[in-house]
Amino acid sequence: MMFQSRRSILKMGGALIALAALPLRALANFVRNDAAFTATSMDTTFAALGAEPVDSADIVVGSPDIAENGAVVPVEISTTIPGATRIMIMVEKNPNPLSAEFFIPEGTVASVSTRVKVSQTCQIFGVVEANGKFYKASKETKVTLGGCGG
């Protein structure tokens, strides 16, 4: 009896430790690529990511044609590319093009929306990683009032 309860307590402790370790493991899979976030052009961003994206018609970049206020530009990127695990938003002419990256776990729809700053009229790129390959599509957004500094 004594031993049994001791064992079950041990088991419980073990389960708790496993639970606590889970979020850490999940986070560790996706390490932030600081070089990509600080790169100052589309080319150097792709180089930092080790990506050579090809144009794809299966990525939809939803952003306004004209943004009055570049500080708040709604962007939605969705894709039907099978096995998409990562969606990135890059704003071509921002000081650092890479604005955000989203990891798509299994069971999550490959479609994300957020709002970004756009410094001046340029292409907004949706870049998707699927099975180690990179794909891109873009849409132009005209900006009347820049979103950086001003």
Partner 1 sequence: MAGKIRVRASLNGDKCEVKALMRHPMETGMRKDAQGNQIPAHFIKEVVAKVGDRVVMQAHWGAAVSQNPFLGFEFTGAKAGDVVVISYVDNKGETDDGSATVK
Q: Least Å distance between CB 13 and partner 1?
A: 17
Mask: binding to partner 1, 24-63, rule CB under 8 A, as x and -? --xx--x-xx---x--------------------------
Radius of gyration (C-alpha) of the chain in whole angstroms = 21
Does 123 contact partner 1 by CB under 8 A? no
Q: From 53, 87, 67, 38, select the one nearest 146 (Cα to Cα).
A: 67
> Which residues lie across from 137 on neighbouring strands?
126
Nearer to partner 1, 77 or 137 (CB): 77
Does 67 contact partner 1 by CB under 8 A? no
CB-facing half-sphere around the CA of 37: CA atoms within 13 A: 7
Amino acid at 109: V
> Which residues lie across from 77 on neighbouring strands?
61, 112
- Of the candidate residues 56, 63, 94, 141, the single one contacting partner 1 (CB under 8 A): 94
Q: Least Å distance between CB 63 and partner 1?
A: 13
DSSP assignments along 42-87, one per residue: HHHHHHHHT---EE-TTEEEE--SEEEETTSEEEEEEE--TTEEEE
- Of the candidate residues 93, 115, 133, 139, the single one contacting partner 1 (CB under 8 A): 115
Tokens coding 61: 């970049």
Nearer to partner 1, 132 or 149 (CB): 149
Binding site for partner 1 (CB under 8 A): 19, 22-23, 26-27, 30, 32-33, 37, 71-74, 76, 91, 94-96, 98-105, 107-109, 111-117, 147-149
